Amino acid sequence: MSSKSLIRTLYVSTRAVRTVVQDASRARNIAAILVKYGFGALIDSRRRRGEAEAPQDLATRAVLMLEELGPTFVKFGQILSTRPDLIPERLADRLQALQDHVAAVPIEAVEQTIIDSLGEPPDRLFKTFDRVPIASASIAQVHAATTHDGRDVVVKVQRPNLRATITADLSLMNFLAGRVLDVYPEAAYFDLPGMVEEFQKSLLRELDFDVERQSIQRFRENFKDKPYIHIPEVFTALSSSTVITMDRIRGQKLTRLSPDIDTQEVARLYLDAAYQMLFEDGFFHGDLHPGNVFLEDGGRLGIIDFGMVGRLSRSMRERVVDIIFSVLRGDLEGVARIWYSIGRPLKQVDYGSFEADVVEILEMHAVGKPLDQIDMGAFLRELAQGAMRHGIRLPSDFTMMFKAMVTTEGLAKQVAKGINPVEAAQPYIETVIKERYSMDRIKQVAFSELVHLTEVGRELPARVERLLTQAEAGELEMRLRHDAFEDVSVRMVRAFNRTAVSIVVAAGLLAGALTVESHVGPVLFGFPVLSLTCFAISVLGIIWLGVGVLKGR
């Protein structure tokens, strides 16, 4: 089938008319490349699935195809490689090797972008500006320069007309995602449209260099007390949404250190920086591979390329630590419950089967092993893959974190033989655990829960009134599944009882936490009796709720 058949296919599909209007010639080009690598069924269902002109395996063909399709698809493959929960491990490994393979932008176009963005040509803005680029990638081209006060810098310039090209490609990509589901129904397992939507948001953020500049400044603030970590300074007056100027990082790649370097110390510095990002800051570099970390002459670690970053809220970090803590206590079922609560089910989940799979993974990777012998990255990656097999999708920042941990552990072991990455993470994990169960944190959680329950209690009468109004108007529709023939009114009474007891439990926790440091009244075991009484009431309430849940009441 010729590439022109894609245009016919697109015109008869109302979903893709806008795509054709945007860039018909690009659509023909993409069609030809899909056919070339054996994915012609995506544009014509009459073609045989798996048909290919080349004998390579699927992963090889996919990588070659993405490279030839260009910058947008290369970036998609690179981001897809951070989702081992969604794609086979072999394909994820191959996608990590994707290279941009783009020709350098002519210097005249680079200069014009700088003029349009900063108002003046580079020979006025800088003392020197190297016309030959240091690097040329899919999003931007990097040139060395010197400021008028003698600072060595690099100038990252976005490729011209890139946003228009990417917008057209994203439209085509959305169409192709739908065609994948039509041709390969089993691909629903991967939630490809959702992945494309996430990618679109990520890529559009990466196109805005103001976002990267803000990320760099945040990293600088996070590491201001660690002089051995060098985050480049951004020159705001020489930066914009399409141009960013920053310190030039010079040094040895961590995989090519000279023989006189203490590799154990270098690996420890690298792990310390990575784990601070993951467990303490909750804001981390998404791709700390060997090309983005350098050992400078003064012994500092310089980090570059902040286009891909991940964010982990306090609660998300605590969930990860809860999993590790449950593993150490041997609570395998607890790990399954936490893992299930993290994800978003895409379908009805057989929880018993899901729990059995989690327990099997734990027994393979963690049971009977001390923390420093657990391959944490591989362990969490297998948990993520297991969740997806059961139709549970994890937040993208979680999976990016797993990818970051795998990359970090792998590079550290490559730099220094015998280094123990988990041992380096242990102080950060212990700190999160201590903060999680500190009195200040208990007060904060108790107060938040009390506020939430108060809001629920305040809204409950209005909700009941709305339900009654709908019932009187004949607009109320109820769906009852007669599983156990239990009276609905009994369930409502139990729900109200649980809500009331939950409010009492939260109030008791809050009152106990607020009075624990007071010196009012008698003291028992070093704590005020009033505080102990409040905690005792809360514990009794929790036991009542737990027994009720276990008995199905």
Q: Is residue 58 scored above 90 in pLDDT?
A: no
The number of beta carbons lying within 10 Å of the beta carbon of residue 174 is 18
Summarised one tens digit per residue, pLDDT across range 80-103 is 776 666 676 677 777 776 765 567
Q: What pLDDT, on the 0 to 100 scale, is given for residue 422?
A: 79
Q: Is there a single domain that holds both residue 399 and residue 279?
A: yes
500 in any annotated domain: yes
Look up residue 214 and give its amino acid. Q
Asked, for residue 229, whether it belongs to a domain, the answer is no
User: Residue 30 and residue 3: Cα distance in Å, rounded?
Assistant: 8
**Residue 64 domain-assigned?**
yes
Is pLDDT at 545 greater than 70 in this prediction?
no
Provide the pLDDT for residue 48.
Answer: 47
Query: pLDDT band for position 239 (50/70/90)?
Result: very high
Residues 332 and 404 in one domain: yes
3-state secondary structure 283-339: EEECCCCHHHEEECCCCCEEECCCCCEEECCHHHHHHHHHHHHHHHHCCHHHHHHHH
Which range has the top average pLDDT, 196-210, 283-297, 369-383? 283-297
Q: What is the pLDDT of residue 17?
A: 42
Query: CA 4: distance to chain centroid?
Result: 38
Does residue 486 lie within any of the structural domains? yes
Rounded to the nearest integer, the mean pLDDT of the chain is 78
Angle formed at CA 320 by CA 319 and CA 321, multiple of 5 degrees: 90
Check residue 344 and give its pLDDT.
83
Whole-angstrom Cα distance, residue 12 to residue 9? 5
In a shared domain, residues 157 and 176:
no
The winner for highest mean pLDDT among 178-187, 482-491, 523-532 is 178-187
Give me the residue label for tokens 């003029």.
Answer: 115
Lowest mean pLDDT among 41-55, 302-316, 393-407, 459-473: 41-55
pLDDT in tens, 312-332: 888 888 888 788 778 877 888
For residue 501, tell me if it sits in a domain: yes
- Residue predicted with more confidence, 3 or 382: 382
Tokens of 317: 């970090």
Q: Which of the pair, 238 or 428, is modelled with greater confidence?
A: 238
For residues 402 and 342, the answer to whether their CB atoms sit within 8 Å is: no
Same domain, yes or no: 310 and 195: no
Looking at per-residue pLDDT, the higher value among 176 and 481 belongs to 176
Element (H, E) at 412: helix 396-415
Q: What is the pLDDT of residues 469-521, one digit of tens each?
A: 777 676 656 555 544 444 545 555 555 566 666 666 666 666 666 666 655 56
Are 255 and 240 in a shared domain? no
Average pLDDT over residues 381-401: 81
**Residue corresponding to tokens 């944190």:** 441
Q: Identify the three-state secondary structure at position 143.
A: strand
Q: What's residue 533's pLDDT?
A: 75
Structure tokens at 500: 């009331």
Is residue 74's pLDDT more than 70?
yes
In a shared domain, residues 175 and 190 = no
pLDDT 10s digits, 120-160? 999 999 999 999 999 888 889 999 999 999 999 999 999 99
Of these ranges, 186-200, 266-280, 437-451, the one predicted with the greatest mean pLDDT is: 266-280
Asked, for residue 133, whether it belongs to a domain, the answer is yes
pLDDT of residue 16: 42
Q: Evaluate if residue 233 carries a pLDDT over 90.
A: yes
Q: Residue 300 above 90 pLDDT?
A: yes
* Token couple for 249: 């990082």
Give the residue among 423, 414, 427 at the shortest CA–CA distance from 267: 414
Give the pLDDT of residue 155: 97
Q: Are residues 255 and 294 in the same domain?
A: yes
Note whether residue 514 is domain-resident: yes
Q: What is the pLDDT of residue 119?
A: 96
Burial (CB count <10 Å: 0-12, 13-18, 19+), residue 369: middle
Q: Are 175 and 192 in contact (CB under 8 A)?
A: no
Tokens, residue 57: 């395996």
Q: How confident is the model at residue 54 (pLDDT cuts 50, 70, 90)?
A: very low
> For a pLDDT cut of 70, what percent of the chain falls above it?
72
65 lies in the same domain as 121: no
| Type and span of the H or E element at 252 | strand 252-253
Lowest mean pLDDT among 1-5, 67-71, 91-95, 130-134: 1-5
Residues 162, 176: one domain? no
> For residue 327, is it within any domain?
yes
Whether residue 257 sits in one domain with residue 335: yes
Residues 333 and 431 in one domain: yes
Model confidence at 262, in pLDDT bands (50, 70, 90)? very high
Distance (Å, whole) CA 117 – CA 239 = 8
Q: How far is CA 485 from CA 351, 477, 548, in A?
A: 23, 19, 19
* Residue of 159 and 549 predicted with greater confidence: 159
- Asked if 26 and 116 sit in the same domain, the reply is no
The one-letter code for the residue type at 527 is F
* Range with lowest mean pLDDT among 75-79, 463-467, 483-487: 483-487
* Highest mean pLDDT pick, 424-428, 499-503, 520-524: 424-428
Q: Which of 388, 410, 436 is the last residue in one of the domains?
A: 436
pLDDT, position 442 = 66
Bridge partners, residue 153, by sequence: 145, 247
Which residues form the domain of 115? 102-167+182-221+234-248
Is the pLDDT at 525 greater than 80? The verdict is no
Total residues found in the chain within this entry: 553
Count of structural domains within the chain: 4
